[in-house]
């Protein structure tokens, strides 16, 4: 049984910190129903808190996992203060597919998202066709 908690944030208006106001105020409301809930084997629940003051959070949505388009990344080479080279991997304007009742949309719309996830990434539909390719 595992529960992952994440605080979503944006650079705009942060100053020097990330506000955990939504997580502090909504944490118990989100976690309490999960304490005695049955979890499927090899699964977990992922919870994301929006980057809002607690009073602006609209509620809780149980939704599917969204899809990020990470193809728009970049690698920036730099030198640290000690003179060592480093590489920073950044993402440009991450996009996601709207209209799928996902965690990404819930967060964008001001909700805490709750998403059940499975730890088995096997693509079941491909097992038989791949097995045929390796059969003598």
Q: What is the pLDDT of residue 49?
A: 96
d(CA 88, CA 78): 8
Q: What is the pLDDT of residue 72?
A: 63
* The pTM of the whole model exceeds 0.75: no
Class (C level, CATH) for 3-133: alpha beta
Q: What is the pLDDT of residue 82?
A: 95
pLDDT string in tens for the chain (136-residue length): 799 999 988 656 555 667 889 999 999 999 999 999 998 888 999 999 998 899 999 999 999 988 766 666 678 889 999 999 998 877 655 556 666 789 989 998 999 999 999 988 888 999 999 999 998 8
Angle at 22 between CA 11 and CA 2, to 5 degrees: 100
Residue of 18, 111, 114 whose CA lies nearest to 57: 111
Q: What is the pLDDT of residue 112?
A: 97
Show me where the domains of the chain are located. 3-133
């Amino acid at each position: 049984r595992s529960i992952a908690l994440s605080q979503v944030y944006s650079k705009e208006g942060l100053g020097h910190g990330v506000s955990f106001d939504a997580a502090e105020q909504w944490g118990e409301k989100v976690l309490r129903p999960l304490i005695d809930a049955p979890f499927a084997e090899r699964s977990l629940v992922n919870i994301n808190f929006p980057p809002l003051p607690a009073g602006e959070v609209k509620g809780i949505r149980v939704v599917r996992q969204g899809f990020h388009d990470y193809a728009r990344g970049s690698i920036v080479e730099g030198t640290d203060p000690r003179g060592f080279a480093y590489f920073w991997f950044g993402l440009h304007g991450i996009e996601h597919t709207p209209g799928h009742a996902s965690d990404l949309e819930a967060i964008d719309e001001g909700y805490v998202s709750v998403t059940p996830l499975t730890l088995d990434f096997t693509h079941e539909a491909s097992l038989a066709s791949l097995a045929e390719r390796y059969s003598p």
